[in-house]
Amino acid sequence: MRFPDDVPVLGDGIVTLRAHSADDLARIVEQCNDPESIAWTTVPVPYGESDARDWVGQKVPQAWEAGTTQCFAIEHEGRFAGSVDLRSRGSREAEVGFGLHPDARGKGVMKRAVNLLLDWGFRQQEYDVVTWRANAGNWASRRVAWAAGFHFGETIPGLLEQRGDRYDGWTGWITADDAREPQHPWIDVPVLETARLRLRPWRVEDGARLVEASNDERLRRFIPASPVPRDLADVPGYLTRVQLGAATGSRIAWCIAERATDQALGNVAIFDFEGPDDARTAQVGFWGHPDSRGRGIMTEAVQRVVDWCFEASPHGFGLRRLVLFAAVGNMASRRVAEQAGFLHVGTERSAARVGDGFDDNAIYDHLRDGS
């Protein structure tokens, strides 16, 4: 395919995909020197005009003509906004890649660009499947793939190479027959407040408090399989896992922080969603830093989460029922459950792992109607 003569122009009235040109050079340099581009792509560092000229004048045309990569410039509001490509892997398979100029981000530009590219790739290039890969932690890239309807696979250790180092990689795929819509919810964790507390997403700055809590004897006794990191080196991986819960629609976790100091005091989470959207059930779990004990902190936090869970969308989550489990001997957690409105409805024999053994499990539930 000759470049640029045979490169099609694709558009949806807002975003246009076209061949790259010399007019794009300055903005390509700006994009490739942006910290986000450096962090998540393999662009040379530093990146100069000579790099952009070589890419636009040699590498992109050669790939088009060889049929190995079809790379388009993204145009938005009359100027270069980024690039998106399909890299042929043979056997009617391609891999998608993309990147945006900083001033085009947050406007839905890349979702439109990827949809245009997928339409063309499936219909005109007759690809059967398009795959996606990104360094673990590249949330902007994952969100684009999610919005475009990709299915997600496992995180593969050391999958991706970047400037001589290897990084864990996220994976995904979409077929020609798949709907171009998210395969599952992506939950944006809301900030919830009480008189004393702010329930917010966990942050890297909370790492020391996470480690302190994890090494507490009481937490380890009643949650022996807790994934909370016991070493600061494990904090980034733990936070990625927490964020993935929200990104896959499977779990929401809040850091319980004191409003006056923003110091982390514990965790509340909801997970194991079951049932139809208008009648869902979820489980509640929680743990506290030693500093939170004896102050009513956990009861206040759990009650705030319960209120939000039962409130109708868009101000709440619209759940019908919540369940909570606590070892029979964990009287502190049982008091929190009962003070937060949960009712003891049964007991499972020898079902709760406690230390090196087992205890009975107290089962609690809470209904939206208050019963």
Question: In this predicted model, what pLDDT tens digit does every residue of 259-313 receive, in sequence order?
Answer: 999 999 999 999 999 988 778 999 999 999 999 999 999 999 999 999 999 999 8
Provide the domain count of the chain.
2
Residue 63: count other Cβ atoms within 10 Å of its Cβ.
18
Dump strand ranges (E) for 91-164. Answer: 93-100, 129-135, 151-152, 156-162
Do 41 and 108 fall into the same domain?
Answer: yes
Q: Which domain holds residue 301?
A: 192-367
Q: Considering the chain, what is the average pLDDT of its residues?
A: 96
Do 349 and 253 fall into the same domain?
Answer: yes
Domain termination residue (choose one: 140, 175, 210): 175
Long-range contacts: 278-282, Cβ < 8 Å, 24+? 278/318, 278/320, 279/320, 280/318, 280/319, 280/320, 280/321, 281/319, 281/320, 281/321, 281/322, 281/323, 282/309, 282/319, 282/321, 282/322, 282/323
CATH at 157: 3.40.630.30
Do 215 and 316 fall into the same domain?
Answer: yes
Is residue 280 within 8 Å of residue 270, measured between CB atoms? Answer: no
Do 199 and 63 fall into the same domain?
Answer: no
Residue 278 domain flag? yes
Residue 1 domain flag? no
Query: Does pTM top 0.85 for this prediction?
Result: yes
User: In angstroms, rounded to a whole number, what is the distance separating the alpha carbons of residues 355 and 223?
Assistant: 8
Local confidence band at 371 (pLDDT 50, 70, 90 cut-offs)? low
Do 126 and 243 fall into the same domain?
Answer: no
- Work out the average pLDDT over 115-125: 97
User: In angstroms, rounded to a whole number, what is the distance separating the alpha carbons of residues 229 and 241?
Assistant: 11
Is residue 358 within 8 Å of residue 352, measured between CB atoms? Answer: yes
Residue 59 domain flag? yes
Do 137 and 196 fall into the same domain?
Answer: no
